[in-house]
Structure 1
Amino acid sequence: MPLPLSVQLYTVRDQLATDRDHTLRRIAEIGYGAVEPFDPLTDPQGFRRLTDDLGLTAPITHAYALLDRDRDPAEVFDAIAAIGAGLVVIPGGIPHEEFTTRDGLSRVADLLAELAGRAAPYGMKIGYHNHWWEIEPEVEGTHALEVLAGLLPPEVFLEVDTYWAAVGGADVPALLDRLGGRVRALHVKDGPIEKGEPHTAVGAGKMPVPAVLAAAPDAHRIVELDTCAGDVFEALAASKEYLSSLPEARLTA
């Protein structure tokens, strides 16, 4: 089923900090239909009013705050409900060492299963977002992320950052094919596939973007630039134009 193309708002974190309304309006004007917040706790009601006015949705959000043992999870889930998200992603915050052994991966799986149980009464699903450190280590000859996937309960999904998976050494289309339906969302980004180097507009780097998208046809497509050497809005516009030209993107008009 075609889905609206989304932007991970970490891409425009500096612009959001100075003028949230203008930043989201620029994203909508470029033609994106959705956004993925990285901090749903910041004025969720005001955020929802603005996105509704702009015709944007926020079906997925990151939620580091769920790892904060001093914070009431109900506060986090209430904020997520206010912005309208049903898919909730843990985007890191777990020690890298846990991804180097099967015992560590079992602890990660238990943590995500616990969070999934807390999310279920709100009608939400929990997912995990990778970087390179869940890909580089091999546990019993397999990328750590794949071992983790085999330990997770079926209700926990993956949001695969396709660029960091490539940086970690994965054949990304093959990885996505093996993970199958576990993958509910993709971070679609591009660049030189090197740590520490700025990202480019999607389609201007070395990532095999059409093959990546074809390997996860039903996943949400979320554009992200962690860093950008040029104007970030120009890069977002170029990414939107490129992805809209690909049948593999499976986007709504």
Structure 2
Amino acid sequence: MINPLNVQLYTVRDHLSADRDGTLRRIAGIGYRAVEPFDPMNDPEGMRRLCDELGLAIPGTHAYALLGEETAPVFEAIATLGAELAIIPGGIPHEDFATPDGLARTSERLLALAEQGREYGVRIGYHNHWWEIEPVIDGRHALEHLDPGVFLEVDTYWAHVGGADVPALLRRLGDRVLALHVKDGPGVKDQPHTAVGSGALPVPEILSARPGALRIVELDSCDGDVFEALAASHAYLSALEVR
């Protein structure tokens, strides 16, 4: 594989809350070799220690808390995890993606975080939902207008829901995209996701459009047992890599 297959831990948030160690052991047992936390402030020392024991890398983490006033403790937690990528997964007003002025404010805010992150060896990225895709400004989706000084983690499912031709979007964005959230399902809002490869998205074409990006499986909600869906997703994506 080009990169180890990764799981966004929001997928198993309830299981983590009940039994973090057992949940991570199950993920490693399926064959995943990396995870993406969604809250770096939740015992970063313990998380890093356990992931090291299980052979799970932490290339990046979501870091909603960076939008708060005190960023230094968040960056310190990210550094403790060993993550080099910190992704803002929302928290910016939806309307700021609907106008050029709003996009300029958003870029300025993210670039300020990127400057802070350099002191910790951390790069700042942004993760989309549908509301950063639906507005089209000057012929491009709003997400495309963010300053290229901030990398992108493209959620391929929500980009599809927002109306993008996802492979074409990824080709346009090119190496600005360092990571992909790979998920599948009916391709509409408010319905549960399914194992990757069993839904409506053209997963092979999407992955081929940005082959060097991290591949992170995420199921916001799951139609069936989540660990079975993670195992089926791993098997499907691993088979694609073999071919």
Deviation at 1:40, TM superposition (A): 0.6
Mapped partners of 1:98, 1:178: distance in 2: 22
Q: Percent identity?
A: 68
Tell me the alpha carbon deviations over residues 9-41 of structure 1, each in whole angstroms, 9 at most, x when there is no partner.
Answer: 000000001000000000000000000000010
Matched, 1:11 2:5: no
Mapped partners of 2:119, 2:136: distance in 1: 35
Alignment of 1:151-190 (within 5 A): 152-154=147-149, 156-190=150-184
- Matched letter for residue 134 of structure 1: E
Mapped partners of 1:134, 1:194: distance in 2: 16
Deviation at 1:248, TM superposition (A): 8.1
Mapped partners of 1:153, 1:167: distance in 2: 23
Unaligned runs of 5+ in 1: none
- Matched letter for residue 45 of structure 1: E
Counterpart of 2:239?
245
Alignment of 1:86-165 (within 5 A): 86-148=84-146, 152-154=147-149, 156-165=150-159
Residue pair 2:33, 2:55 contacting (<8 A) in 1 also = yes
Residue pair 1:213, 1:248 contacting (<8 A) in 2 also = no
Which of 206, 228, 234 lines up with 1:234 in the alignment?
228
Q: Which runs of 4+ in 1 moved over 6 A?
A: none
Alignment of 1:206-221 (within 5 A): 206-221=200-215
Deviation at 1:153, TM superposition (A): 4.4
Residue pair 1:91, 1:129 contacting (<8 A) in 2 also = yes
Counterpart of 2:38?
38
Q: 2:200 aligns to what SS in structure 1?
A: coil
Tell me the alpha carbon deviations over residues 185-207 of structure 1, each in whole angstroms, 9 at most, x when there is no partner.
Answer: 00000000000000000000011
Q: 2:119 aligns to what SS in structure 1?
A: helix
Aligned-residue CA RMSD in angstroms? Answer: 1.1
Unaligned runs of 5+ in 2: none
More displaced, 139-148 or 36-45? 139-148
- Matched letter for residue 21 of structure 1: D
Structure 1-normalised TM-score? 0.94
Counterpart of 2:198?
204
Counterpart of 1:65?
65
Aligned pair count?
A: 243
Deviation at 1:140, TM superposition (A): 2.2
Q: 2:131 aligns to what SS in structure 1?
A: helix
Matched, 1:193 2:187: yes
Q: 1:77 aligns to what SS in structure 2?
A: helix
Structure 2-normalised TM-score? 0.98
Deviation at 1:77, TM superposition (A): 0.7
Counterpart of 2:52?
52
Residue pair 2:148, 2:176 contacting (<8 A) in 1 also = no
- Matched letter for residue 204 of structure 1: S
